[in-house]
Amino acid sequence: MRSFSSATATAQAHVATAAAGEKKEAPFAHLSDDEVIAALKRGEMRLFSMENDLGDLKRAVRLRRVFVEDRLQRPGVLDTLQYEHYNYSEVIGQCCENVIGTVQIPVGVAGPILVDGQEYFLPMATTEGALVASTTRGCKAITSSGGCTTTLLRDGMSRGPVLSASSAVECAEIAAWIEKHIDEVKAAFNSTSNYARLQSVKPTVVGRNLFLRFTATTGDGMGMNMVGKGTDKALVFLLGKFPSLKVVALSGNVCTDKKPSAINWIEGRGKSVIAETVLSRNVVKSVLKTTPEAMVEVNISKNLVGSAVAGSIGGNNAHASNVVTAMFLATGQDPAQNVESSNCMTLMELTAEGDLYVSVSMPSLEVGTIGGGTTLSPQSASLRLLGVKGSDPAEPGKNARQLARLVSSGVLAGEISLVAALSSGHLISAHMHLNRKKH
- Cβ atoms within 10 Å of 76's Cβ, excluding its own: 7
Contact (CB, 8 A) for 115 and 387: no
How much is the pLDDT for 19?
Answer: 37
Domain membership flag for residue 265: no
Whichever domain contains 334, its CATH number is 3.90.770.10
Domain membership flag for residue 258: no
Contact (CB, 8 A) for 258 and 158: no
- 112 and 86 in a single domain? The answer is no
- 38 and 148 in a single domain? The answer is no
Domain membership flag for residue 33: yes
- 285 and 385 in a single domain? The answer is yes
- 329 and 402 in a single domain? The answer is yes
Radius of gyration from C-alpha coordinates of the chain = 26
- Cβ atoms within 10 Å of 222's Cβ, excluding its own: 27
* Helix/strand/coil for 364: strand
Whichever domain contains 215, its CATH number is 3.30.70.420
CA–CA gap between residue 154 and residue 90 (Å, rounded) = 32
Domain membership flag for residue 339: yes
Alpha-carbon 96 to chain mean position:
15
Query: Along the 439 residues of the chain, how does pLDDT read in single tens digits?
Result: 333 344 434 444 443 443 334 446 899 999 999 999 999 999 999 999 999 999 999 999 999 999 999 999 999 999 999 999 999 999 999 999 999 999 999 999 999 999 999 999 999 999 999 999 999 999 999 999 999 999 999 999 999 999 999 999 999 999 999 999 999 999 999 999 999 999 999 999 999 999 999 999 999 999 999 999 999 999 999 999 999 999 999 999 999 999 999 999 999 999 999 999 999 999 999 999 999 999 999 999 999 999 999 999 999 999 999 999 999 999 999 999 999 999 999 999 999 999 999 999 999 999 999 999 999 999 999 999 999 999 999 999 999 999 999 999 999 999 999 999 999 986 555 555 556 565 5
Active-site annotation holds for 353: no
CA–CA gap between residue 122 and residue 287 (Å, rounded) = 19
- Catalytic pick from 69, 170, 232, 334? 334
How much is the pLDDT for 425?
Answer: 85
Which of 90, 116, 137 lies at the terminal end of a domain, its last residue?
90
85, amino acid identity: H
How much is the pLDDT for 434?
Answer: 59
Pairing relation of β-strands 345-350 and 209-217? unpaired
CA–CA gap between residue 339 and residue 365 (Å, rounded) = 10
Domain that holds residue 56: 19-90
Which of 36, 59, 90 lies at the terminal end of a domain, its last residue?
90
User: What separation in angstroms does the CA of 45 have from each of 21, 28, 32, 297?
Assistant: 22, 8, 13, 63
- 147 and 289 in a single domain? The answer is yes
Active-site annotation holds for 258: yes
Domain membership flag for residue 400: yes
- Report which of 155, 115, 110 is spatially closest to residue 137, judged by C-alpha positions: 110
- 329 and 421 in a single domain? The answer is yes
- 35 and 123 in a single domain? The answer is no
- 55 and 120 in a single domain? The answer is no
- 41 and 113 in a single domain? The answer is no
- Catalytic pick from 181, 202, 229, 258? 258
Count the domains in the chain.
3
How much is the pLDDT for 180?
Answer: 98
Which of 214, 249, 284 lies at the terminal end of a domain, its last residue?
249
Alpha-carbon 183 to chain mean position:
31
How much is the pLDDT for 5?
Answer: 40
- Catalytic pick from 56, 128, 170, 173? 128
CA–CA gap between residue 133 and residue 151 (Å, rounded) = 26
CA–CA gap between residue 258 and residue 275 (Å, rounded) = 23
Active-site annotation holds for 128: yes
- Cβ atoms within 10 Å of 182's Cβ, excluding its own: 13
Domain membership flag for residue 365: yes
- Cβ atoms within 10 Å of 52's Cβ, excluding its own: 16
How much is the pLDDT for 25?
Answer: 83
Domain membership flag for residue 304: yes
- 149 and 168 in a single domain? The answer is no
- 340 and 426 in a single domain? The answer is yes
- Report which of 149, 139, 147, 137 is spatially closest to residue 114, judged by C-alpha positions: 147
- 316 and 405 in a single domain? The answer is yes
167, amino acid identity: S
- Cβ atoms within 10 Å of 97's Cβ, excluding its own: 12
CA–CA gap between residue 84 and residue 101 (Å, rounded) = 8
Residue 214 exposure: Cα atoms within 13 Å on the Cβ side: 33
Domain membership flag for residue 417: yes
